[in-house]
């Protein structure tokens, strides 16, 4: 290709590129005119909050005329806060990561519950600032605000708390994980073991709880709303009653009896089993025993060689009561008269596979 031809092609491409760029710019300007974007710039007067601890921002913003409008959680130790200033008519969004402010920008009034519905659940207005605070801080603040702790319940690595305010006739449920408040919502008064006395009557959730208790034939529900997989206020009384029956059957070591074949009963039975295990973890899993004698722990023998386990069981006061072969395993019964423990030891490939308690009649 001749040099003159290459130059002409280059000029043509450059002219076309400039035309496309002008067209794109025009489209962008038209889009901005047609649909203005919300402000995403740093908010004047709040630049000093950047990279400060979250609790510093929570103290400083009210001093500057901002009220916390809501909080929206994110992954890990991250969350959004929305602050509203009546004087400025301004909504500000803070991003917090690892307990430090990483962004302060303007947001739509609707994000602060002004002019449109929020896109996230909001906590009780007087307690919004407790989100992601340390558990010690919330435990001091709630009593100062007129709340009384009615009870707590373990939940995995964290726990639930229920706080009651008689003045507000309000029950607040607090979830604590990793030493910080990870959820704080208003729930019905039944969860706080209370009955509202005002003329407005009990909440929808409490009405369902009362009706369900009547169907189940109990004085009050044994479980709390966080233990169910559904919001109690959105359920029918029969569903809650089935859950409650399953919950109590498991909690009080009764047999599984889902005669209606209802999933709510199964859900309740599973939750009741978890509750019973959590609240009776001090008991031994080494036998169905009672009375005044202790028990012998044999968990350490699982995985040991069968012959060694035999010798060790005898040394710990057990007597071999016979056994049998089944499915490639050698089963043997061991009895300890002093602790009244009857154990079934299963040995496979020369090693103890399982060592579990069974009813003592099997050893007598």
Tens of pLDDT, residues 17-54: 444 344 333 333 333 222 233 334 456 778 888 888 88
Q: How far is the CA of 133 from the CAs of 152, 177, 181, in angstroms?
A: 18, 11, 6
The pLDDT score that the predictor gives to residue 123 is 47
Cα–Cα dist 203/211, whole Å: 12
Say if CB 58 and CB 64 are below 8 A apart: no
- Is the per-residue pLDDT at 212 higher than 60? yes
| CATH class of residue range 47-122 | alpha beta
Say if CB 330 and CB 323 are below 8 A apart: yes
The pLDDT score that the predictor gives to residue 115 is 65
Q: Order of strands, edge to edge, in the sheet holding 341-348? A: 319-326, 329-336, 341-348, 351-357
The pLDDT score that the predictor gives to residue 291 is 59
- Is the per-residue pLDDT at 347 higher than 90? yes
What is the CB neighbour count within 10 angstroms for residue 173? 20
- Report the range out of 78-82, 181-185, 241-245, 277-281 with the highest average pLDDT: 241-245
Cα–Cα dist 115/82, whole Å: 14
pLDDT, greater one: 241 or 273: 241
Q: Which residue has the tokens 């605070």?
A: 133
332 pLDDT band, cuts 50/70/90, is very high
Cα–Cα dist 281/156, whole Å: 14
Mean pLDDT lowest among 88-102, 105-119, 134-148, 172-186: 105-119
Q: What is the separation of C-alpha 8 from the centre of its chain, rounded to a whole number of angstroms? A: 68
pTM (2 decimals)? 0.47
Give mean pLDDT, residues 315-341: 89
> Which tokens in the block code for residue 160?
């639930």
Domain segments of the chain: what residues? 1-36, 47-122, 135-192, 204-279, 299-363
Cα–Cα dist 36/72, whole Å: 25
- Is the per-residue pLDDT at 269 higher than 80? yes
Give mean pLDDT, residues 342-347: 91
């Amino acid at each position: 290709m001749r040099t003159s031809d290459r130059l002409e092609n280059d000029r043509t491409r450059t002219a076309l590129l400039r035309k496309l760029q002008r067209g794109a710019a025009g489209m962008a300007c038209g889009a901005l005119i047609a649909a203005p974007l919300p402000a995403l710039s740093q908010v004047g007067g709040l630049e000093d909050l950047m990279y400060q601890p979250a609790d510093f921002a929570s103290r400083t913003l009210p001093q500057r005329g901002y009220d916390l409008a809501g909080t929206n959680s994110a992954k890990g130790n991250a969350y959004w806060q929305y602050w509203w200033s009546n004087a400025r008519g301004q909504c500000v969004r803070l991003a917090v990561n690892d307990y430090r402010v990483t962004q302060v920008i303007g947001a739509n009034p609707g994000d602060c519950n002004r002019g449109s519905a929020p896109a996230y659940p909001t906590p009780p207005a007087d307690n919004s600032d407790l989100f992601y605070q340390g558990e010690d801080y919330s435990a001091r603040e709630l009593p100062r605000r007129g709340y009384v702790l009615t009870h707590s319940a373990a939940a995995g690595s964290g726990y639930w708390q229920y706080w009651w305010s008689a003045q507000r006739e309000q029950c607040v449920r607090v979830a604590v994980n990793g030493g910080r408040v990870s959820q704080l919502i208003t729930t019905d008064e039944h969860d706080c073991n209370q009955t509202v006395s005002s003329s407005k009557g009990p909440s929808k959730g409490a009405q369902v709880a009362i009706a369900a208790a009547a169907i189940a034939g109990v004085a009050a529900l044994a479980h709390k709303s966080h233990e169910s997989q559904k919001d109690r206020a959105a359920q029918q009384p029969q569903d809650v009653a089935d859950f409650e029956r399953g919950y109590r059957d498991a909690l009080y070591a009764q047999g599984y009896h889902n005669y209606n074949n209802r999933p709510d009963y199964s859900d309740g039975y599973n939750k009741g089993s978890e509750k019973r295990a959590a609240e009776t973890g001090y008991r031994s899993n080494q036998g169905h025993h009672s009375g005044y004698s202790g028990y012998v722990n044999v968990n350490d023998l699982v995985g040991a060689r069968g012959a060694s386990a035999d010798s060790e069981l005898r040394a710990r006061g057990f007597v071999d009561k016979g056994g049998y072969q089944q499915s490639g395993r050698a089963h043997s019964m061991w009895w300890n008269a002093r602790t009244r423990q009857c154990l079934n030891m299963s040995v496979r490939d020369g090693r103890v596979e399982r060592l579990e308690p069974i009813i003592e009649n099997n050893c007598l």
